[in-house]
Copies of this chain bind each other. A is one copy, B any other.
Amino acid sequence: MRKSRSEAAETRRRIVRTAAGTFRRDGLETPGLDDLMGAAGLTRGGFYRHFASKDQLAAEALAEAFDGVIASMSAAIAERGDRSPIAAAADRYLNATHRDGPEEGCPLAALGSELARAGDSVRAVATDGLRRMLETVSGDADPAQTAAARDTALVSLSAMIGALTMARMVDDPTLSDALLERVSAYLNGAI
């Protein structure tokens, strides 16, 4: 049954990658080890060959989720043309595709209120992820960020996270669409 080192390393990466999606779709507490290992095509017993605890997997999966969404926003900003970085980030963030695919999206919107109650290691990853996202939307090409750019990033990202979370929460599609469209329009025009 033993797998080679490279196979085991690949297995570990697969567990983290699939868990990053499962956590964002179903929350941090709801999925059990059976769900998380099953998503990677494995059974529960092998979990502790790779991780010390479910919390450790959550922290690593969260970091991976941030990597993906930050790369996506960074790319959107790089291709922004003559728009502001914030406008490009808002377009990438506030749309139906992102709303309807939380497993590939921003973990701050997917897990925000649960992260506030999570353990120290998870919150540390979340804090670092928020910082990286703030740097990204404020235009990370500029190393000497101005205070105004930083404030604009704080306000804009807060609005994006709040709007996407509410757009997923409401049971009225019209209100959900309005949240995405109106906040996106505001960030495209007024800032």
Closest chain-B Cβ to A183's Cβ sits at a distance in Å of 5
Interface residues in A, total, Cβ within 8 A: 47
Which B residue sits closest to A168, measured CB to CB?
B116
Q: Does chain B have a CB within 8 A of A175?
A: yes
Known: A108-B166, A130-B170, A169-B127. A117 touches B26 (CB 8 A): yes
Tallying the copies of this chain within the complex gives 2
Residue from B158, B175, B183 within 8 A of A166 (CB atoms): B158
CB within 8 Å of B: which A103-160 residues = 108-117, 120, 123-124, 126-127, 130-131, 151, 154-155, 157-160
A-B contact pairs, 15 of them (CB 8 A): A29-B30, A30-B117, A102-B116, A108-B166, A112-B162, A112-B169, A127-B169, A127-B170, A151-B185, A155-B186, A158-B163, A158-B179, A161-B166, A162-B163, A190-B190
